[in-house]
Structure 1
């Protein structure tokens, strides 16, 4: 164990990778960061484990000195995958594609000005008593509709305008305007 109880291996130590702390299967379908195939990892000149790639979906693995089949002689150390940036980008892309909308496309048996009760919608709409009022809006994203933007929510601390039209006087100090490339 190194400083702060960090697991260290001998410099230039051959390391084997497993899918469990004891027994399990040795993983040999690894890659260097550059994408070259490897079957084992070699510790650096300080005894630390260099970054390497695991098979897709492997998020935790165990690593030990070669001959880790004998955990009593060569205990295994747990490593966790660090795909945080990729995970954030994937989540961000998924959120960007979410659109919530509501409306009525046709109302049978009604003519003229149509007023619907919450129970007449499918699925039923929330009633006034089941909606919690918003006391403060931290931020809002307003997407350009036609040549302008929806009304700025009152009390919004900041607004992110997204569109090709300049928000002009609708923007306040601290707001952001993103002009997408065509």
Structure 2
């Protein structure tokens, strides 16, 4: 039942379809999600909207998401993914990665450790950070956290290797407090753009 004032409420089916679309299209901002969906006829058809119908307001998406625990969205995505696998719609046989050479000009002190790779959790955390930064009552200077991911075993392996080096009395520079072991597998420069296409 619709109220007489304020924005109209959102159909729960449409809400969850929009959340799924954001996850599959890797869109973490509600503003960008609504804009993206309004330009795609296939997504409009999936949502059950006609080409001239207005999609829900981005603020309605944000407020509705706050009503549900993150674990519900996570289990929903995993359930849909497992159903797609069972029906043969998803296969992991091919992966394509494209890249472009970029002249490096980064300070070693600006390098950051990649975060453990947790697809759904990482996406939900980025959605939260992007939409918090998008709110008008937030300061524009606040930066969202880094979300570039790496396999967790690589991060553990690097940490253990660094500990082993520090415990070896013969290792050069091991006693220096600033000594660090860096690798492209576990560190990245926040100033360098990366491109990754998956098939």
**When you count helix as a share of all residues, which structure comes out higher?**
2
TM bucket, shorter chain: under 0.3
**When you count strand as a share of all residues, which structure comes out higher?**
1
From the CA coordinates, give the structure whose radius of gyration is larger. Answer: 1
Using CA pairs under 8 Å that are at least 6 residues apart, name the structure with larger relative contact order, 1 or 2: 2
What TM-score results when the alignment is normalised by the length of structure 1?
0.21
